[in-house]
Structure 1
Amino acid sequence: MLAVPRGGVPVARVVADRLGVPMDLLLVRKLGVPGQEELAMGAIADGDIVLNQEVARHVPQHEIDRVIESEQAELHRRNTAYGRTPLDVRNKTAIVVDDGLATGASMRAAVQALRQRGPGKIVVAVPTAPAHTCRAFTRIVDEVVCVTMPEPFGAVGRAYKDFSQVSDGEVRELLAAGPGDRPGR
C-alpha cells in the first residue's frame, strides 16, 4: 500500500488495515501554474517529472524550473519529516492510494516513479475521480479502483464531508499505526 501524501494517507491507512498489508508513502508533488497553483502543469515524484504540455507550453521555462526546484525542496522536506524507509515493492502488487484524482497529473508522476522500483503489478485506488481520468489510467496501470465518478465532477473535495488538510504529524501517526490502531483525525 503506497499512499500519496498527505491527503491519501488517511484513505490508505483504512485500506491497508482492511487488507492487512504494510503501508508506505509515495511522495509526489503537483507542479502548479504560477499564480494559479491549483492548475496542474505537471507533477514530480522521486525525481521523475511529468509535464502536461498543453498547460506547460503557456508557462515560461524559467517559471517551470522555479516551480520544479521549489517542489523538489518540499519533497526532500517531507521525506526527512516522515523519517521513512521505503517498502520493497519489487515483483509485488503495489496499490497506490490518493484521496481522489482530478487531472491525474500527480498520480501519473507517482506511477512513473513507482515503475522504476519494479513492482509486479500497479493498482491505482481512489475514492473519487472523473470517469475520463479513470479511463485514462486503465491504459497505464494494471487496475483502477474508483468508488465514485460523479458527473459533473467538479473537485475532489466535493466527495468529502471534511476535506481539511492532513498535517505532517497526522501522516507520521498514520504511518506508525498498525491494524486496529486508529490515530485521531
Structure 2
Amino acid sequence: MFDTGGRGTHFTDRSHAGEVLAAAVTGYAGRDDVIVLGLVRGGVPVAAPVAAALKAPLDVLVVRKLGVPWAPEVAFGALGPGGVRVRNDDVESRLPPRDVAAVVEQETAELTRRERRYRGDRPPLDLAGRVAIIVDDGLATGATARAAVEVARRLGAVTVVVAVPVAAPDSLLLVRAAADEVVCPAAPARFMAVSQFYDEFPQTTDTEVLALLATG
C-alpha cells in the first residue's frame, strides 16, 4: 500500500503509483474532452489506471528531448509527433549548427521509430480542444515533462495537466511554471532518483506499452 510513514513516499510498482495518482485527479472524471497521455515508455503503466478511473481514452505521447551533446540533460528544444519542434533559443544559439543538426537528425529518427512502433494503426495524435493529462512515473529533472507540455500545446490542447506520483521539489516548481496544472501527491525533500520510490521499477518494454494501449 501507499506508505507515507517511516520510509516516506513509496509505491509497489508503476500500476500502484497510477492508482494513487488516479485518486488525485478525480475532478477530471467523466469529461468527454479529457485524454490521458502516457509518456513512453515508463509513463504508460502509470497512465493506464488513471485513464480507467477517469473513464477517459488512453493514448501515448512520444517526445524526444533535444539535449546538448556534452550535457544531455540540458535541452535546447524538443520534438513531438506531426513534425512539432519546440526551440529553446537561448541554449540553441550557443551551439554549433552542426551539433544542432546532428542531434535533431538522431532524435527525429528515434521519434519516427517509436511513433511507428506505438501508434501502429492509430490515427495521428490530435489534441485540438482537449484537456491533455500528461502522465509519467516521476519527475527527476522535469525536462521531458516540460517538453511534453509544449508539444501538447502545439498539438492543440487547450489545457495541459501534468500528473506524476512523485517529483523532485525543484523540478516540480519548473513544471508548474510550464503547465496549466500539476498534480503530484508527493515531493520528498530527499530525492535522488525516481526509482528509489518504487519496490519494483523494471524497464517498461514495448510489448507492455502496446498491450496497455490496446486495452485503453
Under a length normalisation based on structure 2, what TM-score does the superposition of the two structures give?
Answer: 0.71
Matched position secondary structure for 1:151: coil
Counterpart of 2:75 (choices 35, 41, 45) is 41
Structure 1 residue 21 and structure 2 residue 56: aligned?
yes
Identity of aligned residues (%): 45
CA drift of 1:172 comes to 0.8
Task: Tell me the residue number matched to 1:133.
Answer: 171
Counterpart mapping for 1:128-167 below 5 A:
128-167=166-205
Q: Is the contact between residue 145 and residue 175 of structure 2 (CA under 8 Å) also seen in structure 1?
A: no
Structure 1 residue 30 and structure 2 residue 68: aligned?
no
Structure 1 residue 94 and structure 2 residue 128: aligned?
no
Distance 2:198 2:90 in 1: 30
Q: Deviations over 1:20-57 (max 9, x none)?
A: 110111111233454665x3434432332344956x68
Q: Is the contact between residue 127 and residue 148 of structure 1 (CA under 8 Å) also seen in structure 2?
A: yes
Q: Is the contact between residue 2 and residue 94 of structure 1 (CA under 8 Å) also seen in structure 2?
A: yes
Distance 1:162 1:57 in 2: 41
Under a length normalisation based on structure 1, what TM-score does the superposition of the two structures give?
Answer: 0.82
Distance 1:23 1:172 in 2: 11
Structure 1 residue 73 and structure 2 residue 122: aligned?
no
Larger radius of gyration: 2
Q: Is the contact between residue 50 and residue 108 of structure 1 (CA under 8 Å) also seen in structure 2?
A: no
Counterpart of 2:44 (choices 2, 5, 9) is 9
- Gap change, CA 1:63 and 1:159, over 3 Å in 2: farther
Distance 1:95 1:175 in 2: 16
More displaced, 76-85 or 27-36? 27-36
Alpha carbon RMSD of aligned pairs, Å? 2.3
Q: Is the contact between residue 66 and residue 107 of structure 2 (CA under 8 Å) also seen in structure 1?
A: yes
Q: Deviations over 1:63-91 (max 9, x none)?
A: 33222211110110011112132454322
Paired residues, number = 176
More displaced, 18-27 or 78-87? 78-87
Q: Which has the higher helix share?
A: 2
Unaligned runs of at least 5 residues, structure 2: 1-35
Q: Is the contact between residue 28 and residue 106 of structure 1 (CA under 8 Å) also seen in structure 2?
A: yes
- Gap change, CA 1:102 and 1:52, over 3 Å in 2: farther
Q: Is the contact between residue 126 and residue 156 of structure 2 (CA under 8 Å) also seen in structure 1?
A: no
Distance 1:50 1:21 in 2: 31
Q: Is the contact between residue 5 and residue 25 of structure 1 (CA under 8 Å) also seen in structure 2?
A: yes
Counterpart of 1:116 (choices 150, 154, 160) is 154
Unaligned runs of at least 5 residues, structure 1: 179-185
